[in-house]
Structure formats: structure tokens, C-alpha cells
A = this chain, B = another copy of it.
């Protein structure tokens, strides 16, 4: 009698968390990235294998919540200065253009129609900053030059991918307007600039003052609550300005990056533990999105080719300019590979294409699988090859 309620999304939720944390531990045990272990756990209980959990709005929103908290905690480790550089802008531009053309031409080669090819190109522009950042964090590599470059480029990438998506919709509908693209771009850049200024002038100063108040002596956790609240308000604003919510929470985190607090350790430890739970929520949901049964045999070659193109175009588009800017061969390869995961961003673009009737169920499933494959391959390459001890 309770079953009707409990065997619903509540139950799925509990199950999802239990297996995600199981995947986490198993990945640690075999010395692999938790990202891979958790995604595989999601694939296992999701529609691809056991079918115990289905991908619903609920799982999607949870993933969103997970990504917001995850990027906030990653932001805490970066100061804005380190990631705001002209060269990352240039690298980011190539890192979006090269995959877009690569995806488009491959799709044309496989005989997809023009609309679908445009959309497949756009889906390849995106980078899921959460994946690589988390893998680097696991390996204690967030302090490196390559990590800073990846994060800086990924922020640029998010803005450009937004513009590309708008352009693609314009090209497909025939209603492309330079003005509307400029407005979208200006809003996105405006949010980032205003967000950084408010972060440094208001948030960072306020938290230092809050740290000294009697409220904080009585309830030391107030600092932590305030910071997380700021992260969610930033995420909210980013969404309103057309950017990913995670860019917002990342900026909020970065605003607090170099702030010296009496209760600083409490703050970091809290963030680390949140990160464990919310990263699990986020990654397990990526596994659940995939329904391997929707992939037909004749799509397999296209998926494999698209995965290769997705990875190579990011290595060429980001890694090559990084090398030309004087980065070491290893670091520029790390940057190229690090930008490869499409993760949830590629999946969201695929969903938009499906909803607008620009791509069919087959192409949709293909993009989902490519996003997932690039997401699983990256940690494996980074951990077992590029950063092998």
C-alpha cells in the first residue's frame, strides 16, 4: 500500500544514490576516476541494462543541482585572474570552430541532411567543464597551468557554444539576425563581467565581514550557508542571462577563492564533502540518460567516427593553439584531451534539436552516446596515460 509511492521516483532516487556511491568506491579500489565508476553505475541501473531507473525530469534536475554545487566547489580553487587571459579566448574560439566544422562535414559525409548536420556540428562545440575539472581535482592537478587553461577556455567555450546554438537555429529556420546574436553574446559576456565585479566587490567583502560577526561565532556554519546561497543566486542569474547555471556557480566559487577567513577550513571541508555527494548525483545521471537499446546497428559506425572526430577536433582546436602559445607538448595535449568531454552540455543540445524536430531519435541517441563516450574516455586517458605515475 505504501508501495505505490515508494516504488516511484523516491525509491529510484534512493537506489540511484546507493549505486552511485558504490561505483565511486569501486573506481577508487581499482584506481580509476570516480567519474567513470559512477557513470557506469548509472548505465547499469538505467534503461540500458537493468531498467530500474528511468531518465525523467527529476533525474535531470538532480544532475543540474549536482553540477551547480560541483562547479561551485571547483570555483573555490581558482582565482579569476588566473583564468581570464586573452590567449584562452583565442584557444576557446578555435576549440569551438574546429569541432563544429568537423562534426558538420562528418555528418554530411554520412549522408545526413543539412539541418541535422548543422546540429551535429553544434553538439560537438560544447565542453562539459565538470568532468575534466573533477578528474584533475581527484589527481591533485588543479593547481597546474594546464588545469587553469582548461577552466579558462571552458568558460569561453560555454559562451561561444551558446552563440553557435543560436546561429544554428537561425541558419536552420532561415531567420538569422546579426543583432539578435550580438544581444545574446553581449548578455552572456555582460553577466560574466558583472558577476566577477559583484563577486569581488560585494560577495568577497561581505563574507569577510560576516566571518567577524557574532552570528558566525554562534553559528560557524553561517559562512558556509552564505557561500552556497550565493552560488545558487549566481547560478540563477546565469540561467536568466542565457548561460549555463554552472558558469554562475563557478564564478561565485571563484569570488571566494582567495578570501582569507578565520573559519576557512570549515568552509573547504564542507565543500569537499558536498562535492562527493553532488558529483555522484551528477555523474550517475549521465549514465541513466543513455538508452543503449535505442542505438541501431547502422548508427554504430557513425557513432564511432563522430566520437573520434569529437576528440581529435578538440585536441587540434585547443591543443594546437595552446602549443603555439608556448605550452609544453604534454600540457597542450592535456588541454586538448581535457576539453573533449561533451557530457551533459552535448546532451542538452541534442535534446533541443530533438524537441525542435531538427534531428530524429537516431541522431539524438548518437549524440547522447558520443557525449558519454568522450566523457568516459577523457578520465581514462588523463589518468592512465597523460598523468601516469
Contact = CB atoms under 8 A, between A and B. Distances in A.
A9 B233 contact: no
Interface string A339-360: 0000000001001100100000
A225 B24 contact: yes
Contact of A222 (B9, B11, B28, B165): B28
Nearest to A57: B9
Contacts of A162: 2
B272 A221 contact: yes
Interface of A: 1-15, 17-18, 21-22, 24-25, 28-29, 56-58, 60-62, 64-65, 68-69, 162, 165-166, 169, 215, 218-219, 221-222, 224-226, 228-229, 232-233, 235-236, 239, 242, 245, 266, 269-274, 276-277, 348, 351-352, 355
B272 A274 contact: no
A12 B8 CA distance: 21
Contact of A61 (B10, B64, B222, B229): B10
Number of copies of this chain that the complex holds: 2
A18 to B, nearest CB: 4
A26 to B, nearest CB: 11
Contacts of A8: 57
24 contacts: A1-B165, A1-B166, A1-B169, A1-B352, A2-B239, A2-B242, A7-B239, A8-B57, A11-B239, A12-B61, A13-B64, A14-B65, A21-B225, A24-B229, A25-B222, A28-B218, A28-B225, A58-B58, A224-B273, A228-B276, A269-B270, A269-B273, A270-B273, A274-B274
User: Nearest 10 A-B pairs (CB), nearest first?
Assistant: A270-B273, A21-B229, A18-B232, A10-B64, A9-B61, A6-B239, A58-B58, A17-B232, A13-B61, A14-B235
